[in-house]
Structure 1
């Protein structure tokens, strides 16, 4: 394996190994500080991060507000408090010398308020802000105001071009690096555009090369590109290292830090990672953000797939083939289906899926009464964890705080499931994010005989190769 030399990132020399931020409450101060002690860049998630009481116990995020707007204010307060707590722990664990970044999602509820609140409350402890899930035009302004570097997450040269021309070109001195997150390989939410096929992965090299060429047009020859998604062993990326066409390259590891001693995920989750097989991670479209995301195939995803398949289009008047009457809801309001679809509905109802729920696209999905009650309750309990949510129709923007669309029962409450799985919730009944290479835990000899490394040991192993 080629020697891995430090590179200059954010004004200092660091190993080109970056911990990928994973929220909710998964990449925390412990994993971040541990990774930073190895000489790389540690990252904690400021997405609904955990805070602690006086005894060091996690403060569970319980909401008391009667309205969504009130609960949204509670969520922002939790986010700021938790982010500060994680920044302090990362700083302490790294001995005050490690490189600490925080990760936020631009489409999370109150993203700018949370970012500014954490940076204000943890001044001097955070060196960089990594941000994706959307087009974070104001990220550069936040970084400049607090004197930290910013690291946008993008999935194409075109996206970076738009960000640079509209905003980043005015604050180039604070651009620490650009994270290229491969939309077919990375875990969590992915930046697939409408022109890209989720079922046809593209080679990341030409896409990153195009990004570098775009950056060179802007005079950013020496700004590192951080490759994220699909990185396991560095010798598999030797053509990228010290490649003059690509310029300075760093590598981000999001999935591998899940299986470390500092990782706060449950023991059951860690053991589940060791059993994954190729294809066990699914790129799927069900997120309430509207983005594709990659997660472990389990009962939770299977139910969403089945829920979306039990779907038929309807009209409110007889039109074309839609001539078969069907009554929806307790009052049996009349809609019209095709005769073929009416027969399918009869089969679903016979199997217990008797509740028809309307979607924003003039379709009906069919679920059990229990699932229908759960969906409605989750929609009512919304705390505005996203800037806009298709599941609950929440929007953080005035005056209506609504997307203007009907709440979509084909999705789910992402805050509820991520909080649950991060705090020892059932693995089969929750969303379990992971990158598509997670199956490699099972055949990697590093983890044989049940060995679980510290974050620092993982960094050292990555540096020495297989």
Structure 2
């Protein structure tokens, strides 16, 4: 029998065991995170290319004017710091009545693999001293997270997807700043929205039960001497808490807190455009795709809309080639490549001619010695987006940018991917949710079947938190 949740102390604050997931580029901002903290939970400001504002309170468009990628990257870092500071300050103002009483908390979320991550994190924390309680960080192995958090006197919340990953982080770095470990976030790699931490040994088509994985994480934490007061945050696939009743007061798991990434998208304070909210209300089971088109190289989960289906179709229009006639590759490719000399199999030659006849007249090389066939318009968009790169990731497969002295991955830019900065900025600021990447967790289809959302009802954050506390 589930009778609701009790508050606990996490990161030195009294909070409900309810954490708002910090969602990417402007999908979680001050309005939602401030309201979440005001309701007594942990509100999480996304500090990934966050919006900043002019003197009249209007969002400042992130326009890149520099001529070189390196200089555009500097513009990106400047935008990132200014936006992160602005969002935290506004979130704190909203939640201040409770925060000053020691109730609720404001965290920030950063991606370790975002471009300039450490510089942006330093800049935001320096500019928001006394306002931020903790830093949630994933998308990679953030070894320096504990060191940076301790420097500013804030807690850190590493996002991991296996006990093995936490063990590596603890032994290399986190044990040296154990007192600042606020919680460990277990993000289920099959259920969570956005980028997921699937390893090469795990099958994306074979989801695993999170319980034994979280039990293994707690056992590892105990083995390493991590305090029992440090909770595990379960992230991914959480819709209503009565479905997780056996996780509460469970001595095997210890203290567990729950993170909600998808449900806060559909609140009145959520900053995502109304069209995106409407799309969420009408999803069916299976409409979320776990895919690997992201330029980060990570798997990620998003709505399988025309934008993603076009990427799927693009990869299907793909053939292997050789620069010399060898083996089965004996047939000179005569479409899509101009005067360049490529040899393919007979079957692939026929397929290429068919695609060419259907309007996919341009063959673009990939880093894997294959060719993908696209329209002229698609080719032009891909090339422009690659040329406009501002280094939003530490390592980008789409543009071949890498945050090093050479600013190059050393590999060919991959036309099968996309500019993630461009599409996430667009959808967050009014772009068509059918023609952009629309991140969502695999439980998002439940909006359409949950009676609470019938007739298009969209709750306030306060209403959602109160409902979650009761288990619904």
TM-score (norm 2): 0.97
Match of 1:324 among 324, 331, 334: 331
Contact 1:36 1:456 in 2 (8 A): no
Aligned positions of 1:183-262 closer than 5 A: 183-220=189-226, 221-262=228-269
Secondary structure of the structure 2 residue equivalent to 1:386: coil
Within 5 Å, which residues of 2 pair with 1:218-367? 218-220=224-226, 221-327=228-334, 331-367=338-374
In 1, Cα distance between equivalents of 2:469 and 2:52 = 33
Task: Return the alpha-carbon distance in structure 2 between the equivalents of residues 294 and 367 of structure 1.
Answer: 24
The worse-fitting range, judged by mean Cα deviation, of 437-446 and 6-15 is 6-15
What residue in structure 1 maps to residue 77 of structure 2? 76
Give yes or no for the alignment of 1:34 onto 2:35.
yes
Structure 1, gaps ≥5 residues long: none
| Equivalent residue number for residue 114 of structure 2 | 108
Q: Once the 2 structures are TM-superposed, how far is the Cα of residue 87 of structure 1 from its aligned partner?
A: 0.1
Change (3 A) 1:331 1:445: closer
Alignment partners' CA distance in 1, 2:47 and 2:195: 16
SS of the counterpart of 2:36? Answer: helix
The answer (yes or no) to whether the contact 2:336–2:373 under 8 Å persists in 1 is no
Shift of 1:328: 7.1
Partner Cα separation in structure 2 for residue 315 and residue 328 of structure 1: 15
Matched, 1:154 2:155: no
Give the CA RMSD over aligned residues: 1.0
How do residues 431-442 of structure 1 correspond to structure 2 at under 5 angstroms?
Answer: 431-442=437-448
Q: Equivalent residue for 1:408?
A: 414
C-alpha contact 1:328 1:335 (8 A) present in aligned 2: no
Distance (Å, rounded) in 1 between the aligned partners of 2:460 and 2:365: 48
1:96-124 Cα distance to aligned partner (Å, 9 max, x none): 51300000000000001011100001111
Q: Distance in 2 between matches of 1:433 and 1:12?
A: 30
Distance 1:248 1:75 in 2: 39
* Unaligned stretches of 5+ residues in structure 2: none
SS of alignment partner, residue 366 of structure 1: strand
Classify the secondary structure of the residue corresponding to 2:248. Answer: coil
Q: SS in structure 2 opposite 1:263?
A: coil
Q: CA deviation at 1:327?
A: 4.9
TM-score normalised by length of structure 1: 0.98
Q: Is the 8 A contact 1:16 1:250 kept in 2?
A: yes
1:369 maps to 2:364? no
Contact 1:25–1:50 (CA under 8 A) maintained in structure 2: yes
SS of residue in 1 equivalent to 2:342 = strand
Tell me if the contact between 2:3 and 2:470 (Cα under 8 Å) persists in the aligned partners.
no
Show CA shifts across 1:11-57 (max 9, x none): 23211100000010011011001001111100010000000111111
2:288 and 2:79 mapped to 1: Cα distance? Answer: 31
Is the CA contact 2:33–2:91 (under 8 Å) kept in the aligned structure 1?
A: yes
How far apart are 1:3 and its partner, in Å? Answer: 3.3
Distance in 2, Cα, partners of 1:320 & 1:43: 56
Q: In structure 1, how many angstroms separate the alpha carbons of the residues matched to 2:240 and 2:361? A: 50
- Which deviations, in whole Å up to 9, do the C-alpha atoms of 1:289-331 show, x marking residues without a partner? 0000000011100000000010011111111111101257665
Aligned counterparts of 2:375 and 2:63: Cα–Cα separation in 1: 28
Contact 2:335–2:361 under 8 Å retained in 1: no
* Residues 271-305 of structure 1, C-alpha deviations (whole Å, 9 max, x = no match): 11110010000000100000000000111000000
